[in-house]
Amino acid sequence: MNIAPSSFNQANYSLKELQDIFSALNSSIIVAITDRTGRITFVNDHFCKISKYKREELVGQDHRLLNSGFHQKSFFREMWKTIGKGEMWNGEVCNRAKDGSLYWVKTTIIPFMDENDKPYQYIAIRVDITAQKDIKKITHIAYHDELTGLPNRRKLEQRLEYEFHQSRRNGEKFALFFIDVNRFKHINDGLGHIIGDMFLVEMANRLRSIDFTSNSFYRHNSDEFVFILNDTSRIDEMAKEILSIFHESFIIDTYEFYASISIGICVFPDQANSIEELLKNADIAMYAAKTTRGNYYKLYLPNMDDDNDKWLMLETKLHQALKKDLLELHYQPKIDLKTGAIVGMEALLRWYDSDLGHLPPDRFIPFAEECGLINDIGVWVLRKASIQTHHWNKVYGLNLQVAVNISPIHISADGFVDMVRDVIAETKIDPSTLEIEITEMSMLDYTEKLIQTIGELKALGITISIDDFGTGYASLNYLKKFPVDVLKIDRAFVQDIISGKSGIAMISAIISLAHAMELKVVAEGVENEAELNVLRKYGCEYVQGYYFSKPLSAEDFTMNILEKVDSH
């Protein structure tokens, strides 16, 4: 038989001669010969050794016996296409030994052609590269985050080292973006770690889609990511692009929700002298961005240092304020539009610190949510508001209902309903005079648990309202699932009434929607007669706003509101 390997220089060996050569080769080369269908006709000793099969277990068998399942079908289809044409094929293949272990071989397959120029057998020559593969894998693991596949902190350190020296050598600048997920704790604790992990994976994928080739996103820590940008003229553009990937909701498992991030940016060497300082200042800028709530980015400014010290201090201060009863509640009256009577009030948190001055709740509530103080604050507010309301109703013979704002984090915490029950028992407040406001955002983390919680609160006799309605993205379908009683129209819509636009249309739509669902409507932030008239026209039940009264301290509420009501 004349063997004419197409890719070999026309060397003529008999099959027997080849087999002898391969058998004699006492090297690490792994050799197999198969017929045109892939049936094994010959293996050398080394083949047996690595595959852990005996020769007689191999010869006569289909070569697919060694398939590991690692490769896609198309991988082998391509291989067969190549060798079927009589061309040599090279590749790295993962095989499975008899004991189930995997090994990697660098493989060359040489087709041997018959007189009609058709391959009639194949010789495969392989070298074991398992060790190299493992090293590659180990290096990959060492420098990549297991969950998201993004380069990790170690890799980031290398990159920063590199950029630092580059910058020192040729004076080029680069920017470091510190990206932090807002309220990640909320997602993680509320929906569970698995959903939290899946969210981070999806987030990493979205980040990767921005920067596909240059690998400049790093996972720094649980929900912290870092982005390195060499072209500092594109800082704003890139920050906006990163923020924009959060405009779309995350659909994870059966949940759909929105997430937001805060980005702090620091430029080397303009705003930092060392890598540590670069990271520290980007972190400071990130905190500054966070305090503005929502998707936001901020460039580091030198005076932020003081701000950051303030923030570090803030946690301690807030702790103390809570412990020493330095927080205060103000009350804004709620008016029945039909009768003009005051039917209740919303309790709004106030904090005055002797160093920091007045801190608006919009600034410290998000912070309290981040640092985990929000639940204690919520309990404090509920207790304080209940004591006050019970007192007022008793003294003035009224039936005022107090509305308390509860953070989404708090309401989804274990034991929330038990805590409310305890507060009711302790303060003796009539539960029908208690209302709990949850934001539309809480509903997005829709869980059976929240529906159940609301049901249990209602069973206690408490009224439940949806705050800031229209600002989140809750769909009507969501709303229908929650057994709530009241919708609070966000101030932004009320303000749109006079600015023209679609304000009136929106207001009338929200009111008729609420009524169709048998919900009462409260409009907040009413500042003038014109707004009031529109709200009255469309049948809004209750209003709150500066037009009637700003939130007042308990004393002022007693003096300016209750004493006057009483004297009528």
Tell me, rounded to whole angstroms, the distance of Cα 511 from its chain centroid: 33
- Smallest separation (angstroms) from Ca ion to the CB of 158: 48
453 in contact with ligand C2E (CB under 6 A): no
Instruction: Give the interface size with ligand C2E as a residue count (CB under 6 A).
Output: 22
**Stretch of 78-86, 144-152, 268-276, 466-474 lying at the interface with Ca ion (CB under 5 A):** 466-474
Taking residue 170's Cβ as centre, other Cβ atoms within 10 Å add up to 7
DSSP H helices in 428-469? 440-444, 448-459
Give the β-pairing of 342-353 and 401-405. Answer: parallel
Between 183 and 219, CB nearer to ligand C2E = 183
- Smallest separation (angstroms) from ligand C2E to the CB of 451: 20
Question: Quick one: tokens of 480?
Answer: 């229908």
525 in contact with ligand C2E (CB under 6 A): yes
- Smallest separation (angstroms) from ligand C2E to the CB of 491: 6
As a whole number of angstroms, the distance between CA 257 and CA 251 comes to 7
DSSP H helices in 94-225? 130-143, 153-170, 184-191, 193-210
Between 218 and 493, CB nearer to Ca ion = 493
Position among 145, 467, 496, 531 found at the interface with Ca ion (CB under 5 A): 467
405 in contact with Ca ion (CB under 5 A): yes
As a whole number of angstroms, the distance between CA 169 and CA 68 comes to 49
CA dihedral 472, 477, 483, 485 (to 10 degrees): 60
Q: Which does 497 bind (CB under 5 to 8 A by kind): ligand C2E, Ca ion, none?
A: none
- Smallest separation (angstroms) from Ca ion to the CB of 525: 8
546 in contact with ligand C2E (CB under 6 A): yes
- 197 burial (CB, 10 Å; 0-12 / 13-18 / 19+) is middle
As a whole number of angstroms, the distance between CA 474 and CA 517 comes to 15
Q: How far apart are the first and last CA of the chain?
A: 120
Between 43 and 406, CB nearer to ligand C2E = 406
Q: Which does 223 bind (CB under 5 to 8 A by kind): ligand C2E, Ca ion, none?
A: none
Q: Which does 415 bind (CB under 5 to 8 A by kind): ligand C2E, Ca ion, none?
A: none
Q: Which does 332 bind (CB under 5 to 8 A by kind): ligand C2E, Ca ion, none?
A: ligand C2E
Between 297 and 367, CB nearer to ligand C2E = 367
- Smallest separation (angstroms) from ligand C2E to the CB of 429: 16
435 in contact with Ca ion (CB under 5 A): no
As a whole number of angstroms, the distance between CA 522 and CA 467 comes to 9
545 in contact with ligand C2E (CB under 6 A): yes
Between 40 and 489, CB nearer to ligand C2E = 489
Contact 501, 534 (CB under 8 A): no
442 in contact with Ca ion (CB under 5 A): no
467 in contact with ligand C2E (CB under 6 A): yes
Kindly report the three-state secondary structure assignment for every residue of 351-400. Answer: EEECCCEEECHHHHHHHHHHHCCHHHHHHHHHHHHHHHHHHHHHHHCCCC
Taking residue 290's Cβ as centre, other Cβ atoms within 10 Å add up to 23
Contact 215, 260 (CB under 8 A): no
Contacting residues for 453 by C-beta, under 8 A, at least 6 apart: 411, 412, 416, 417
**Stretch of 208-216, 336-344, 403-411, 540-548 lying at the interface with Ca ion (CB under 5 A):** 403-411
- 309 burial (CB, 10 Å; 0-12 / 13-18 / 19+) is exposed
468 in contact with Ca ion (CB under 5 A): yes
Helix or strand or coil: residue 115? coil
Contact 175, 232 (CB under 8 A): yes
Q: Which does 551 bind (CB under 5 to 8 A by kind): ligand C2E, Ca ion, none?
A: ligand C2E
Q: Which does 348 bind (CB under 5 to 8 A by kind): Ca ion, ligand C2E, none?
A: ligand C2E
Between 175 and 543, CB nearer to ligand C2E = 543
Q: Which does 546 bind (CB under 5 to 8 A by kind): Ca ion, ligand C2E, none?
A: ligand C2E
DSSP character for 530? H
Residues 387-406 that bind ligand C2E (CB under 6 A): 405-406
User: Token match 């001669």: residue?
Assistant: 17
As a whole number of angstroms, the distance between CA 498 and CA 515 comes to 23
- Smallest separation (angstroms) from Ca ion to the CB of 157: 44
- Smallest separation (angstroms) from ligand C2E to the CB of 494: 8
Exposure b/e, 376-413, CB count within 10 A at least 16 = b: ebbbbbbbbbbebbbebbeeeebebbbbbbbbbbbbbb
Between 189 and 527, CB nearer to ligand C2E = 527
Between 107 and 544, CB nearer to ligand C2E = 544
332 in contact with ligand C2E (CB under 6 A): yes
- Smallest separation (angstroms) from ligand C2E to the CB of 258: 17
Between 111 and 470, CB nearer to ligand C2E = 470
**Stretch of 81-89, 111-119, 129-137, 518-526 lying at the interface with ligand C2E (CB under 6 A):** 518-526
- Smallest separation (angstroms) from ligand C2E to the CB of 537: 19
Residues 338-367 that bind ligand C2E (CB under 6 A): 348-349, 360-362, 365
By CB under 5 A, name the binding residues for Ca ion: 405, 437, 467-468
By CB under 6 A, name the binding residues for ligand C2E: 332, 348-349, 360-362, 365, 381, 405-407, 467-468, 491, 524-527, 544-546, 551
